[in-house]
Structure 1
Amino acid sequence: MARGGQGLARVAVVVRAGAAPLWWLGVLAAGIGVLVPGVTGRRIGVMAGAASFLLALAVVAAGRRRRYMDLARSAARASKHDVLQDRAVTVRNWRRGHRWWLLPAFAAALGSAFAVPAAGGMLLAGCGAGLRLKAAWLGRRERAEDILLWVRVDWLDGRGGRPAGKAVKAYRGTGIAAGDAAPGGARRRTAALV
């Protein structure tokens, strides 16, 4: 990076990167887990799973919002020498860095089905849905403020995550058209040419 530029990753993309794997691993674990009668029985297992899904969704979606807002308020304008990381690279880095705890989480969700069918999988899926909601919340803030939020890649921990962790001192901001991800971290949709 020339002239003191920094590598920047989109905050919403980092948040959203874990949503799909957690959701699909949770759905798969819940689907397999519901086939096992378990200690508590399927009915209690599914009811406990639904409660844990809603609880995980609420906790993950609402977690650390004040920290995100404080960092967003103090966001400095990105330099012209900063390098904006592609959405695909950010997602790949997060997933590679977290695969070693995603697999044990999936295995634990499957194993828990022998005690409480489907509950572990639904808890995992709730975490994924919560991350998706948090990314959507960030996207609404970005649209309202007309600014995209970025975090220095070297401030993210080695696993490519924690965009509001202790190591993150401030965000950087760009115009709403910068980068290849829309507000909220989704792929930017290009209008069809007529």
Structure 2
Amino acid sequence: MARAARGGQGLARVAVVVRAGAAPLWWLGVCAAAIGLLVPGLTGRRIGVLAGAALFIVATAVVATVRRKRYRVLAGAAARAGKHDVLQDRAVTVRVWRRGHRWWLLGAAVVALLSSFAVPVAGGLLLAGVGAGLRLKAAWLGRRERDADTLLWVRVDWLARDGGRPAAPSVKGYRATGIAAGDAAPGGARRRTAALV
């Protein structure tokens, strides 16, 4: 976790925090769904796959759109980051989030696997849908950042206070920097460096 210089705050990219859970949820869900195909379950595989597809679509749509108004309000009122604020690296932000949620991720994967004995595949596709929704939400934040030519940051102490959620009630506001700050591109992906010529 970034340590702030005297008078400053440690800041993590909002889009990186949102995106941090996308990949593990997606892959855990895909793996759980694949294993679920091997289990007939109570409903049978066909019904399980159809139910899972519906859950995937619903979960993706809900997660991608939930609390967007809160993000807009916080982004609209974002204050400029100070010169003593410390910008946390993308890798550190992802590692902190995943370490703090590792038991939740493991528990969700176990539940998705066990659900296959009742409805094959469905639990895994639900989990994958949550991951896909987080990825879409991060992409939406990235479009906002590009349009405003501004990157959004949140204080790491506020994140730690409320489970790593960048739009939680404990988050009182965002900080803003220029588009070139930090090591993550708009939307939270790794920043691509230009090839040397």
CA distance in 2, matches of 1:159, 1:31: 33
1:156 is matched with: 159
- Shift, 1:157, TM fit: 3.0
2:103 is matched with: 100
CA distance in 1, matches of 2:162, 2:21: 12
What does 1:76-87 correspond to in 2, within 5 Å?
76-87=79-90
Q: Which runs of 5+ in 2 are unaligned?
A: none
Q: Secondary structure at the match of 2:19?
A: helix
CA distance in 2, matches of 1:159, 1:95: 15
Asked if the contact 1:97/1:159 (under 8 Å) is kept, the reply is no
What does 1:22-171 correspond to in 2, within 5 Å?
22-158=25-161, 161-171=164-174
- Shift, 1:44, TM fit: 0.2
Which ranges of 4 or more aligned residues in structure 1 deviate by more than 4 Å? none
State the one-letter code of the partner of 1:14.
Answer: V
**Paired-residue identity, %:** 80
- Shift, 1:158, TM fit: 4.8
1:175 aligned residue (174, 178, 183)? 178
State the one-letter code of the partner of 1:115.
Answer: A
Aligned residue pairs: how many?
194
Q: Secondary structure at the match of 1:163?
A: coil
Q: RMSD of aligned C-alpha atoms? A: 0.9
TM-score (norm 1): 0.98
The alpha-carbon distance between structure 1 residues 103 and 63, as it changes in their structure 2 partners (threshold 3 A), is same
State the one-letter code of the partner of 2:132.
Answer: A
TM-score (norm 2): 0.97
CA distance in 1, matches of 2:163, 2:178: 24
- Shift, 1:2, TM fit: 2.8
State the one-letter code of the partner of 2:34.
Answer: G
CA distance in 2, matches of 1:86, 1:160: 19
State the one-letter code of the partner of 2:167.
Answer: A
Q: Which runs of 5+ in 1 are unaligned?
A: none
1:75-121 CA deviation, whole Å, 9 max, x = no partner?
Answer: 00000100000000000000000001111100000000000000000
The alpha-carbon distance between structure 1 residues 160 and 87, as it changes in their structure 2 partners (threshold 3 A), is farther
2:13 aligned residue (10, 14, 30)? 10
1:186 is matched with: 189
- Shift, 1:3, TM fit: 3.0
